[in-house]
A = this chain, B = another copy of it.
Amino acid sequence: MTNQNIKDLEAIVGKGECFSDKAHLSAYCYDATKERKYPECVVFPHNEEEVSEILKYCNTHLIPVIPRGAGSGFTGGSLAVNGGVVLALEKHMNQILEIDMENMVARVQPGVVNMQLQKAVEAVGLFYPPDPASEHYSTLGGNVSENAGGMRAAKYGITKDFVMALRAVLPNGDIIRAGKKTIKDVAGYNIAGILIASEGTLGVITEITLKLLSKPKFKQSAMGVFPSIQSAMNAVYKTMASGVTPVAMEFLDNLSIRAVEEKFNKGLPKDAGAILITEVDGNLPEEITYQINKIEDKFCENGAVNFIKANNEEEAADLWFARKNASPSITIYGSKKLNEDITVPRSKLPELLERIAEVSKKYGVVIPCFGHTGDGNVHTNVMVDGSNPQELEKGHKAIEEIFKITVELGGTLSGEHGIGLSKAPFMHLAFSEEEMQLFRSIKQAFDPNNILNPGKMGL
């Protein structure tokens, strides 16, 4: 980019909203992968019209544009791999525009933080279920772009299940609307559907209309302790197939349990093969009892040695403590965590975990696993010494083998985090050349000059 380019962009957004100094470029060069890729410029648009002007300009001058929310992604989706402009949406475009009680719909700008919306709608008796682990800082624009999941996906689904409509700016600057404030809308191609999970490569999302539910009045949590990971995985899919749909069905394996226990000393069952932590909700106390009893039955039928019900919020928080602190605790096994969010059909969970254990043995790497087993989504963490290149290489080989196993079992490379940069080298494991070609044609249709978040998704 030339100095003139930067001046021209500044003319669009105004003084104090366009930067190319080292401090700003450093502040916008990373995400949760901890990779660093420096943009040449960071701009802070105030509104959709400015986004449109910026894209039109960059499309004409062939300058890459990288949309960015909180930069909390796990796969490098918001990194500027080819320089260009980071379009930072969290500074000005962060307003909840409307909470429409009558239609149970929220309209938000992309920079609104997930939890900000959750709190605002819960204050009026409504409910926005998608709850990625990053909910306290990730933005809804990022959630839509990566199609974020979370713990409550087992019952409520993921971000895409709540997006009713989007406004977006195309790479050529065109402003489009897709979808309506209605459950049903079948006029025209489902543009909102393809923008979701497109990782900022097809358009810049400028407004999101989200479906809300009414907030269930009651909930209860419980924990099951299992002798082996196999028995726990069997319990997961037998429970889900029994007619009960828990809000969440989370697990920790023995390595994860021990890591949390070592760090926090909470009296967790250190010898357990696995624990499952679950939550149910409903509008009647009877619904809660019915579901918790059914889960207890299924857990015990599948070998649970202990089943603990939370009787109040404090006890529930205690049960959830292990799950919420698994990720930071497992660093006791290695300074570098190669964290993947593979997902398989639920009935394949026992086999998946068995085969991950074999990979761990084969490469001599520790692989603690935890995650959202209610929807088949397992966070596998290959732990290595980040300063040791041989260890790192072993880790990467183990990851590749785990991806192969996942695809073999009918699963996906990513349940939540997207492809971005990190998983791009593995796209060939999951997609045929014909499928990759179709992805490239779609990219070309939206973005013929390849200016929008280039170099991502292995395209």
Chain B CB within 8 A of A445 CB = yes
Does A66 touch B at the CB level, under 8 Å? no
Contacts of A242 in B (CB 8 A): 214
| Contact residues in B for A298 (Cβ distance below 8 Å) | none
Bound-complex Cα distance A346 to B211 (A):
13
Number of copies: 2
Partner of A153, one of B161, B183, B446: B183
26 contacts between A and B (CB under 8 A): A102-B241, A102-B346, A104-B240, A105-B345, A146-B186, A176-B435, A177-B432, A178-B435, A180-B345, A180-B410, A180-B412, A182-B344, A182-B410, A183-B376, A183-B377, A184-B412, A184-B415, A186-B412, A188-B439, A189-B197, A189-B198, A189-B202, A189-B439, A190-B198, A282-B287, A284-B290
A334 lies within 8 A of chain B by Cβ: no
- Known: A182-B376, A214-B241; 5 extra A-B contacts, CB below 8 A, are A147-B186, A177-B432, A177-B435, A187-B413, A438-B446
Taking a contact as CB atoms closer than 8 A, the residue among B176, B241, B243 that contacts A438 in the complex is: B176
Is A175 close to B, CB under 8 A?
yes
**A434 partner residues in chain B, CB cutoff 8 A:** 170, 174-176
Provide the bound-state CA to CA distance between A232 and B432, in Å: 53
Assess the B438–A191 pair: CB atoms within 8 A.
yes
**A residues near B, CB below 8 A?**
100-105, 125, 146-147, 149, 153-154, 157-158, 160-161, 170, 174-178, 180-191, 193-194, 196-198, 202, 213-215, 237, 240-245, 282-284, 286-287, 290, 343-347, 372, 375-377, 410-419, 423, 427, 430-432, 434-435, 437-439, 441-442, 444-446, 457
Residues of B within 8 A of A282 (CB): 287
Main secondary structure of the interface of A (DSSP, over half): loop
Q: Tell me the bound Cα distance from A215 to B183 in angstroms.
A: 22
* CB within 8 Å for A196 and B187 given contacts A103-B345, A410-B181, A445-B442: no
Question: Bound complex: CA of A185 vs CA of B148, how far in Å?
Answer: 10
Give the complex CA separation of A331 and B410 in angstroms: 51
Taking a contact as CB atoms under 8 Å apart, the answer to whether B196 and A190 are in contact is: yes
A427/B187 in contact, CB under 8 A: yes
Contact: B418 with A186, CB < 8 Å? yes
Distance from A49 Cβ to chain B, minimum over Cβ atoms (Å): 14
Residue in B182, B241, B411, B431 whose CB lies within 8 Å of A343:
B182
**A423 cross-chain contacts in B, Cβ below 8 A:** 187
Closest residue on chain B to residue A242 by CB atoms: B214
Cβ distance A128 to chain B, nearest Cβ, rounded Å: 15
Closest chain B residue, CB of each to CB of A181: B345
Chain B residues with CB under 8 Å of A198's CB are 189-190
Does B375 lie within 8 Å of A183, measured CB to CB?
Answer: yes
Cα distance, A442 to B202, chains bound together (Å): 12
Q: How far is the CA of A198 from the CA of B442 in the complex (A)?
A: 15
Q: Evaluate contact between A343 and B149: CB separation under 8 angstroms.
A: no
User: Would A415 and B243 count as touching, CB distance under 8 A?
Assistant: no
In the bound complex, residues from chain B placing their C-beta under 8 Å from that of A415 are 182, 184-186
Question: How far is the CB of A100 from the nearest CB of chain B, in Å?
Answer: 7
In contact, B102 and A412 (Cβ under 8 angstroms): no
Identify the closest chain B residue to A213 (Cβ): B245
Cβ-closest chain B residue relative to A430: B187
Q: In the complex, which of the residues B197, B343, B432 contacts A176, with contact meaning CB atoms closer than 8 Å? A: B432
A48 CB to closest chain B CB, in angstroms?
Answer: 13
Which residues of B are found within 8 Å of A177, using beta-carbon distances? 432, 435
Please measure, in the bound complex, the distance between the C-alpha atom of A416 and the C-alpha atom of B187, giving whole angstroms. Answer: 9
Complex CA gap A241/B99 in Å reads 12
Which of the residues B161, B176, B184 comes within 8 Å of A377, measured between beta carbons?
A: B184
